[in-house]
Chain A
C-alpha cells in the first residue's frame, strides 16, 4: 500500500465550478499536510500548509484535514481557467526530513 494515494484524474470542470481534490494516507504519524499546484514544465508551488486536523482558508482555496479518516481535501471555489494545473498533496510526520507526495491530479477548467 502506498503511503499517499491520490486520484490522477484528469478532472475537467466548467469555469465557476467548485472543485474538490482529495488524498488518502495510511501513516497515522503524519501531522503536516500540504497542497501544491504545478503548471506544465514548472516546479510545484506551495498553495496550502496545515498542521493536524481542521480547515484552513486562503482566498478561493480551502484545505481540510480529517485525521480520523486519514483523508485530506482541497476545495477551489469559483474555479478559473488559470487554475488548470496538476495538484499534488504532500504530508510529513513530526520527526524526520521526508515528505510523502501524491502522484497529482490533473485539473482543467474550461472557459
Chain B
C-alpha cells in the first residue's frame, strides 16, 4: 500500500533562517505531488504541485520554492523565512489526474 511521510512534525525557526521540509511517498510510481499551507479558518492554499521529476508549478508567488529531485521526493524550501511563513504545511500525493489526494501528517512551522 502507499504511504506518505513528512518531516519534521514540528519546527521552530528564527526569522531570516533557511527552511527545508521533506516529503516522500512509498508504494507508487510517478505520483503527482503537492504542497499546501493550511491556515485556521482559511482552508488549504495550494503552494506548488509537480507532475514529474524537475517539473514544478507554482500557484502563489511567495518566499518559498519547491523541488522534486527524485520521483517520490518533494522538498519545500526557503532561503530566508518571514514571520508570515508560519503555518501548517501539508504534502499530498495523487495517482492519475483527478484521483483523490492523500495527505501526510503535516509540519507545524513557527517563526520567531
Contacts and interface: CB of A to CB of B under 8 A. Distances in A.
Interface of A: 8, 31-32, 34, 36, 41-46, 49, 88, 90, 92-99, 101-104
Interface string B88-111: 001010000110111111101000
B66 to A, nearest CB: 14
Contacts, number: 52
Contacts of A44: 44, 90, 103
Given A43-B104, A43-B106, A44-B103, A104 B43 contact: yes
A96 B97 contact: yes
B97 A42 contact: no
Contact of B108 (A41, A45, A97): A41
24 contacts: A31-B98, A41-B106, A42-B105, A43-B103, A43-B104, A43-B105, A44-B90, A44-B103, A45-B103, A46-B100, A46-B101, A46-B102, A88-B44, A90-B101, A93-B98, A95-B97, A96-B97, A97-B49, A97-B51, A97-B57, A99-B101, A101-B43, A101-B44, A103-B42
Given A43-B6, A43-B105, A43-B106, 13 more contacts: A41-B106, A41-B108, A42-B105, A43-B103, A44-B103, A88-B43, A88-B44, A90-B100, A93-B98, A97-B97, A98-B49, A98-B59, A103-B41
Contacts of B53: none
A32 B41 CA distance: 23
B24 interface: no
Interface in B56-109: 57, 59, 90, 92, 97-98, 100-106, 108
Nearest to A32: B98
A9 to B, nearest CB: 11
